[in-house]
Amino acid sequence: MTNLTDLGVAAIRNGVANGDFTAREVAEAFNANVAAAKELNAFIVTTPEKALEAADAVDADRAAGKELGSMAGVPIGMKDLFATKGVQTTAASHILEGFTPEYESTVSSNLWAAGAGMLGKLNLDQFAMGSSNETSYFGNVTSPWRRPDGANTPMSPGGSSGGSSTAVSARLAPAATGTDTGGSIRQPAAFTGITGIKPTYGRCSRWGVVAFASSLDQAGPMAHDVRDCAIMLGAMAGFDPKDATSLDLPVPDWEAALNSDLKGKKVGIPREYRMDGTDPEILQSWDNGIAWLKDAGAEVVDISLPHTKYALPAYYIIAPAEASSNLARYDGVRYGLRDLPEGAGLQDMYAATRAEGFGDEVKRRILIGTYVLSAGFYDAYYTQAQKIRTLVAQDFENAFKECDVILAPTTPTASFGLGEKSADPLGMYLNDVFAVPASLAGLPAMSVPCGVNSEGLPLGLQIVGKAFDEQGVMNAGLAIEERAGFTAKPEKWW
């Protein structure tokens, strides 16, 4: 029998439906891989019983001749930002350690309804703030990839969805949920040689997802290939009246419409993305991608996104500002951690709880956000950043008059060693330089693996599309996937 843990979403769904193997066999295989990979620290909580319970329900439905859902028999990892009823949800922060929701997020509910099961809750950067998965209270996540230099330096899986990227890349799960505020699906996907898509803002409900920056946060799938992402996004997406920003639009059948023939399509190449400091091997992979899309029938056009250089600084004003507001709710009064020094009053309790519960990066962003929202600086910083955001969105609108999708690198470098950048927050923030513009504009964007560098580490290419055109993004991604022929897997060392 094929090694079940090498299979992706489509292969598992089809195999279960055809009776090639049972959903329970799949769940047991992935549960075993999860249990054997504690060294990677991808999971905060494992739920093997949930995976088996969902698998048994799928097998029973098949035996009874019932129609199976689009994710039937597929066990997944759930980023620990999604509320899961009866299962601890922490956002990888001490302040929420032990918090067990009494409700289920809309995205996870949709996935369970489609037949998916839960292998566990995945580690992440604390409150989704980070690009390397080094800010989690529950410890760093380690990428399954290694440099072949013999030093065995633990590598970053990217962030904030580093537990998700490691779980999929290391075959601990065939797919996982991620969230993307400024690149947190795409950058980890690129670092670990998997595929991930951030859909149009509002395509997936934010209800029941721990908030970082509400105008930017968007859930999406992370999986081995484009087809698997199309299937999983179809299960995750949909209108939700409980989320005021949810798109009231039908969910297309993205899988059925996948087509890598790009004849008649135009691909924009933004000249501003050829930035100083970008790894030459990244630029070479970009040139390869351009050639592949030409081979798929697309016409390549030069475009300009003139406000690109302002996008990152604007993001690091807007996102912390929203975070400082969102995270005000963690005060030790209603749920989560409470630090109550003897004889302390209410203000002392607030201060002690937040000091104890939040990590350094979260505190840094709360401080920045509170500063830019303060009376004397609101207009100088926050208002200006919102104006930049509008200009960035207008840049994309203008560019899409000349092209259908945009091709760019996902990241300026391949993965780096844990600890190599953590002492330099600004250097870490620059990891998001290619990902942030699409987030500010709320556009769908996907990272697809396109090869490995001279150190054997994965590289990713990013496709950005028009609002609501996930299909165009996935079709271009499929064209790259077919031509890149990426089959590299990390050598098992854990």
Q: Are 110 and 238 in contact (CB under 8 A)?
A: yes
Q: How many alpha carbons lie under 13 Å from residue 102 in its C-beta half-sphere?
A: 1
Q: Is 472 helix (H, G, I), strand (E, B) or coil?
A: helix
Residue 321 to residue 9: CA distance in whole angstroms: 37
What tokens were used for 164?
A: 């998700």
Residue 200 to residue 466: CA distance in whole angstroms: 8
Nearest alpha carbon to residue 287 among 443, 484, 447:
484
Alpha-helical regions (H) of 358-469: 360-373, 384-399, 425-429, 436-441
Contacts of 32 (CB under 8 A, 6+ apart): none
Q: Are 245 and 106 in contact (CB under 8 A)?
A: no
Sign, CA dihedral 457-463-467-471, equals: negative
Catalytic residues: 79, 160, 184
What tokens were used for 466?
A: 């028009």
308 burial (CB, 10 Å; 0-12 / 13-18 / 19+) is buried
Q: Are 125 and 149 in contact (CB under 8 A)?
A: no
Residue 434 to residue 372: CA distance in whole angstroms: 24
For residue 160, cis peptide bond before it (omega within 30 degrees of 0) = yes
Residue 479 to residue 168: CA distance in whole angstroms: 22
Q: Are 150 and 452 in contact (CB under 8 A)?
A: no
